[in-house]
Amino acid sequence: MGWRANYRWIRSLSEQQYPSENMGKKKATMKEKKAMKKIRALPGVIEVYHAKRLTEAKTSKSRREIDLIVLKRDRIVLVEIKNYAGTISMVDDTLYQNGKSRGWSFATLSDARKRLVDIMRETGIHLGTGEIHTVLAMLGSGSVDESVNTGHHITQTAVARSFRELNDSLNIPVSEEAEFKIEQINAIRTFFDMCGTWDELICANSVVVEGDFLDNQTINSWREFYQQGRLHNTRGWLFTVLFGPNIEVELTSWNGETSLQSVDPNSAISLQVPGSHKNVISLQFDHISGFTFGYQRLPKWEEIILMQTLEENNKSETAEKGKAGKVRGGEQKQKFRVGDVISDATVAFHHKDGVLFQLTAKQKGMYFLSKMQPLQAETREMFMRVGNPYAVRITNIKQRAKNTLIEVEILD
């Protein structure tokens, strides 16, 4: 570029159209981090994770963000935090703010709960007697009416209207046997460290935007080795006018080591922001001040083993309830036999003919209405919630063409 073009480039920086600050998102994040700090100081809390994203066990895609995940010695608690003002109500399990739907329901937490159990099972982590609870925490200034409740989600679920109630929700009574072993806790902590969070783009106007960086040869190569980068023009105003900008990025590796690289100021980086509209923000390197990667690589859960041993409960079930099927991560499909027991099958969804259980990442089994007791059939949606883990026994296996129909029953 000539000096005139360089001068125009400097003038254009102040005229660049940058994303505006999302104050609602910023305040919500601040509220989440404040709650995380308070929870971390509570007795019995091992760790608190912020904005972790859970993929589907089968595809390793479709990541669902959880605001806070609390790990205790007897449970994992998934916490959704809402920082709403105004009047907050709930209609048909969906949250409303000032009469307008916010598109959130307990089904979101149920799906997250199911994903968590399914993914962990694929890595060899069986939760055993440990439980998974869910909490909706309304920590904004809004007035929350009585319609905001757990509805038919009556077990291991709570609504908190203050931090005090959130604290109470983290201590809902559990069964006397509920407890994670040390090996489970270590594996669970490793698991959450691998889940990752959002990527962040820091614009030159200091606005931080979350999302997923789109595939780019430079970005992909940086992600593998570096956790974050900070960009700046090494030339002052006069030398930039004479010779053009010299954009350098200071890269910090996942191990904390730093290095410098020069980049083409005309190259761009693109970020897909969260939401149903799939909006994409693209900025040239000379218009951003930094970036942070939320994860090093997306884990392929089926190829990862975090625990080598099977859950101890399987051993007792073998003696008491028949031969247990050995289900562990990394395998494509299990060869089930009638009588096999899956100790942590999760409710996938309710079908008109019964309840479908997720047995492995790729296999489901049906608990037919005709096999249930009348009261159990009538209340199945209330007590067999999506995401709940159950011990089930294989009762029948039918081969139909290329498909295998697996029938199961819940163990008492």
Q: What is the CATH number of the domain that holds 181?
A: 3.40.1350
Q: Calculate the average pLDDT of the chain.
A: 85
pLDDT in tens, 104-152: 998 889 889 988 988 898 888 988 889 999 999 999 999 999 999 988 7
Q: What is the pLDDT of residue 257?
A: 93
- Is the predicted pLDDT of residue 298 greater than 80, yes or no? yes
Same domain, 62 and 177: yes
In this structure, is residue 185 part of a structural domain?
yes
Query: pTM for the full model?
Result: 0.79
- Is the predicted pLDDT of residue 171 greater than 90, yes or no? yes
d(CA 127, CA 143): 37
In this structure, is residue 400 part of a structural domain?
yes
Q: What is the pLDDT of residue 312?
A: 44
Higher-pLDDT residue of 238, 360: 360
In this structure, is residue 175 part of a structural domain?
yes
In this structure, is residue 215 part of a structural domain?
yes
Token pair 């247990």 is found at 324
Alpha carbon distances (Å) from 83 to 96, 138, 177, 198, 207 = 13, 6, 35, 20, 20
Domain final residue pick, 159, 176, 195: 195
Same domain, 184 and 217: no
**Angle at Cα 78 formed by Cα 73 and Cα 80, nearest 5°?**
145
d(CA 220, CA 210): 17
Mean pLDDT, to the nearest integer, of 237-244? 68
- Is the predicted pLDDT of residue 72 greater than 80, yes or no? yes
Mean pLDDT, to the nearest integer, of 63-74? 94
Which uninterrupted H or E stretch holds 121? helix 106-122
Alpha carbon distances (Å) from 166 to 45, 78, 136 = 13, 12, 9
- Res. 361 pLDDT band, cuts 50 70 90: confident
d(CA 295, CA 195): 7
Same domain, 182 and 220: no
154, 155, 160, 163 alpha-carbon torsion, rounded to 10°? 170
Higher-pLDDT residue of 354, 242: 354
Q: What is the pLDDT of residue 316?
A: 43
In this structure, is residue 305 part of a structural domain?
no
- Is the predicted pLDDT of residue 180 greater than 90, yes or no? yes
Same domain, 79 and 186: yes
Q: Which one-letter DSSP state was computed for residue 323?
A: P
CATH number, residue 369: 2.40.50.140
- Is the predicted pLDDT of residue 301 greater than 50, yes or no? yes
Same domain, 155 and 204: no
- Is the predicted pLDDT of residue 75 greater than 50, yes or no? yes
In this structure, is residue 397 part of a structural domain?
yes
Q: What is the pLDDT of residue 210?
A: 93
pLDDT in tens, 14-62: 656 778 888 888 899 999 999 999 999 999 999 999 999 988 766 666 6
Same domain, 113 and 159: yes
- Is the predicted pLDDT of residue 249 greater than 50, yes or no? yes
Q: What is the pLDDT of residue 327?
A: 39
Range of the domain at 344: 310-410
pLDDT in tens, 188-222: 999 999 999 999 999 988 899 999 999 888 899 99
- Res. 183 pLDDT band, cuts 50 70 90: very high
Please state the domain count of the chain. 3
Mean pLDDT, to the nearest integer, of 279-295? 91
Same domain, 371 and 314: yes
In this structure, is residue 29 part of a structural domain?
no
The pLDDT > 70 percentage for the chain reads 86
For the sheet with 75-82, list strands across it: 45-54, 64-72, 75-82, 131-138, 157-160
Same domain, 394 and 269: no
Same domain, 182 and 213: no
Domain final residue pick, 263, 292, 321: 292
Tally of CB atoms within 10 A around 337: 11
Q: What is the pLDDT of residue 401?
A: 67
Residue 330 tokens read as 């990394």
Same domain, 46 and 140: yes
Same domain, 55 and 98: yes
Domain final residue pick, 143, 174, 195: 195
Same domain, 264 and 321: no
In this structure, is residue 86 part of a structural domain?
yes
Higher-pLDDT residue of 44, 318: 44
